[in-house]
Amino acid sequence: MVREIVRDTALLRQPSLPATRKDGKAADDLLATLKAHAADCVGMAANMIGITKRIVAVRTGQAYLLLLNPVITARSPETYLAEEGCLSLDGVRPVRRHAWIEVTYCDRKFKRKQQRFTGLAAQIVQHEMDHLEGILI
């Protein structure tokens, strides 16, 4: 189910709780909402649709990926300055990102995965994982 986008920064600044096996529907809704905004959005965290659980949906190229309880286990020493927008916020803002990150997470079936993200995908995942901590650009 496609849900409304939360723009209340007081809500968005609350850290999210761990996702559980009962959050499958929340993950499906997040993916559906991201796909509905495919024209202007490449990633979304669950609190952007009012669910304060540690779930992130990203689009990398043509593929969509759900990450439940993602944790960054390694990151590049080198960083760069990016400009990012956010569907929950107005405008574009400068932010510093790592060139690559390694992340462990659970997939939709709660199978544990590990993946290295580079370039734009790494940037998107870092942005969405910040949302889980209540960090806004």
Catalytic (active-site) positions: 128
With respect to Zn ion, which residue has the nearer C-beta, 31 or 86? Answer: 86
Is 131 annotated in a binding site? The answer is yes
Cα–Cα distance, 12 to 6 (Å, whole number)? 8
**Is residue 58 at the binding interface for Zn ion, with CB under 5 A as the rule?**
no
Whether residue 113 contacts residue 104, with contact meaning beta carbons closer than 8 Å, is answered with yes
To the question of whether residue 127 is assigned a binding role by annotation, the answer is yes
Q: Does 86 bind Zn ion (CB under 5 A)?
A: yes
Q: Which of 61, 59, 29, 62 is nearest to 46 (CA)?
A: 29
19 or 58: CB nearest Zn ion = 58
Question: What φ, ψ does residue 109 adopt, rounded to 5°?
Answer: -95, 15
The piece of 10-18, 19-27, 82-90, 118-126 that touches Zn ion (CB under 5 A) is 82-90
Tally the residues of the chain: 137
Binding site for Zn ion (CB under 5 A): 86
